[in-house]
Each structure stands twice: as structure tokens, then as C-alpha cells.
Amino acid sequence: MYDLILCVDDDPITLMLCKMVISKSSFSKEIITAQNGEEALDYFDNLKLNNLGVTIKDYPKLVFLDLNMPIMDGWDFLDHFSTEEYTSYFKDTKVIVLSQL
């Protein structure tokens, strides 16, 4: 079980279904959402800024990521999130790509 999961998708129905399935399966205590990669990176940036000099303990250890989104797609999110800037803080976070063709 995870304490916190982040679902990143621009489709509100997909986000609702993802939250419903995760909740019903008791897979996570809390599910948060972002509508694109930029919003997800902003979330992680805010975690870093609000915890300067302190170890970040409460962050998503699992991200469900759509690839096809406006503003910043999943590929661009992965490019940014896999840099040292993020991996040094969020090294335990795993990303699972969930995308429709």
C-alpha cells in the first residue's frame, strides 16, 4: 500500500476511474491528480521549495502517467523528472505509463 499516488492525465473521466479503482482496492491512502506534465512538475517543485534543507518524506512514491496531454505531455514530463534535479529528491518514486492509443 502506498500513502500517496499521483495520477497525471488530461481526461477527467480517466482520472475519476483511476481514483475509484485505486480507492476500492485500498492500494493507496490518498490519490492526487494533475492534468498535464507541467502541473505535475509544478507539484514536485513546490514540494522541493517548501522543504528546503529538510528531507521530503511525504511525496508520491508512485505516478500513473498519461503520454498524450496538452501543455506538457508525458514524454516531456519523463525527460524532466529523470534529471538529477528531481531524482536527488524523489529517488523512490516510480512512474507507470498508462496511455491510450
Look at residue 98 in the predicted model and tell me its pLDDT: 87
80 vs 52: which has the higher pLDDT = 80
CATH number at residue 88: 3.40.50.2300
Judge whether residue 33 has pLDDT over 70.
yes
Domain residue limits at 25: 2-97
DSSP codes of every residue in 38-96? HHHHHHHHHHHHHTTTS---SS-SEEEE-S--SSS-HHHHHHHHTSHHHHTT-TT-EEE
For the chain, how many structural domains are there in total?
1
Look at residue 56 in the predicted model and tell me its pLDDT: 61
* Contact call for residues 77 and 68 (beta carbons, < 8 A): no
Percent of the chain with pLDDT over 90: 68
